[in-house]
Chains A and B, each alone.
Chain A
Amino acid sequence: MGGERTPRVEASDAFGAEARVDAVIDALGIRGEVSSAVIVEATRQVAAAFASLHDLEVEFPTPSGLGALPTRSPEVSR
């Protein structure tokens, strides 16, 4: 595991990461029971993941395109 910061993600609230983690803490009912260090690290992971997902476009099959589950090619996805 470990982790490497995705260089393009500088702000911890990129892609709504802070709000997403905040909502999780409330949904689980554990506010005040996890440390700020845990929250910061979780937020960093969510921000980095959604930044990379932003580059990933998955096309789901449709009735007019059966069988298709292609992704945008890596060459044009950035």
Chain B
Amino acid sequence: MNAGPVADACALDASSALRAYAVGDISPVDVISAHISRINRLDGGLNAFVNLRADLAMAEARASEARWHRGAPVGPLDGVPVSVKDLMAVAGMPMTAGSARPWAVAVEDAEAVRRLRAAGAIVIGTNTLHEYAFGGTSVNAHVGTPRNPRDPSRIAGGSSGGSAAATAAGMAMAALGTETGNSIRRPASFCGVVGMKPTFGRVSRHGVVPLAPSLDHVGAFARTVPDVALVIAAISGHDPRDVGSRHQPVNGPVGPRATDGLTIGVPRSMLRGIDPAIGSAFERALRAFAAAGANVRDVDLPLASRWTALVSSIVMHAEAATVHRSRFTSDPGSYGADVAARLLSGHAFLGFGLVQALAMREAIGAEVSRALARNGGVDAFVAPGVPGPPPVIAPGAFVPGDAPWSSEVGPFHLQRLPSMLGLPAGAAPAGWSSDGLPLPIQAFGRHWEESIVLSVLMAGMESVPASEVRGIAGGAG
């Protein structure tokens, strides 16, 4: 992508901006200034941001510009404007977690934010979300509901709705989010951007408001696969302050690679009730994978296809009930009705329900591990990103494809499977409908093999005809 004039700075992806910084075609000051102007112009209607740090971001942009002039960028993201889901601590910023009870101003960054800023990224603000990240719509009475930039009458999805919306609307080049059930892939799918949560343990949750500790992941949004890979690489690494953190190479293989020679599995039995346009784009992507040399085959996952959503929901609700016990009992009236009901049900699952669910999680994990075996298994699974388009905004709006208590075979189990098992997973647009809504795919693969997942997503994006591709939402400038 050509850097072009400053007026197009918000349409640049991060990799293009970094190349332009290196040759002096554009400066971080230009880019940060353009993004703040765009936020001021668009966010009144989109509500993707809770708080901005415009002055600080401009000061950091001037420092970044000086470094680029010296030919000495501080890291691989120097001068890239990013935003952060408002449940991750950003030093000097208040934090709401989307709730009615804000935390005190943070004195230090969450570890993922610290790593992102150490790589040179400039945090321009914090993003709206579902209350406590405990829901799929981001409909939020406390901090406002982010609207989908592709169609502002519709939800951005959740729980990381503001992060996805900011990225889609060119108000940030990348954003951090979290996923416990489907909270990165779903909003990425609804907003038409790339979203990835890496393997459980690759990115520290220190400084992040927890929801369900055995399921919580930190991940990233961007508009291209290489940009997501850049951000994931920057925020990865062991952190002893997160008991879930694992020792894996910081500079591990998280970049995309070719799909030639990969075996890609399709959980066909689960793909019932898919929106025809989304299904059509998915099948086009499958044909592109095969044409590029991948071996595409259907794979049955009988346990996962019935029990994943139920098991994931019981574990999630029970853990969230435990995490929130003190806060909830001290002021239950401060919680939204949907979240309060989930916390109550979570307490009821502690005991018999939770033990049953944990046992079944192990059985599902074994089934999926066999399917992903290096000898004779598939390298990754691919499926539609969501079963249907984003719903119109309404209180308590039901999210298609997310029926957490049903054991019927259907696509909603795919929404929860990778996060329940800690597998790397992502979503990306593999087409666009005639009315401008994204037609997403999702992919997930073996632990620590983010590169394969990213390569599948990239191939899916490249299967879209150039005439169909959409840029940032909200117009240029």
Contact = CB atoms under 8 A, between A and B. Distances in A.
Interface of A: 1-4, 6, 17, 20-21, 23-25, 27-30, 33-35, 37-39, 41-42, 45-46, 48-53, 55-56, 58, 60, 69-71, 73-74
Contacts of B406: 4, 6, 48, 52
A35 to B, nearest CB: 6
B348 A52 contact: no
Interface residues of B, number: 48
Contacts of A3: 398, 403-405
Contacts of A51: 405
A48 B345 CA distance: 11
B135 interface: yes
A29 B325 CA distance: 11
B332 A71 contact: no
Contact of B359 (A6, A69, A73): A69
B342 interface: yes
A22 to B, nearest CB: 10
A21 B345 contact: yes
A58 B310 CA distance: 14
Contact of B347 (A2, A27, A35): A27
Contacts of B342: 1, 42, 45
B181 A1 contact: yes
Q: Which of B303, B338, B345, B359: most chain A Cβ within 10 A?
A: B345
Contacts of B136: 1-2
B258 interface: no
B302 A73 contact: yes
Contacts of A37: 337, 341
B134 interface: yes
B344 interface: yes
A30 B344 CA distance: 11
A35 B335 CA distance: 11
Given A1-B135, A3-B398, A34-B340, A60 B359 contact: yes
B307 interface: yes
B78 to A, nearest CB: 38
B313 A69 contact: no
A45 B181 contact: no
Nearest to A61: B359
Given A28-B325, A46-B348, A74-B302, 9 more contacts: A1-B402, A2-B135, A4-B398, A6-B407, A17-B348, A23-B348, A29-B329, A35-B337, A37-B337
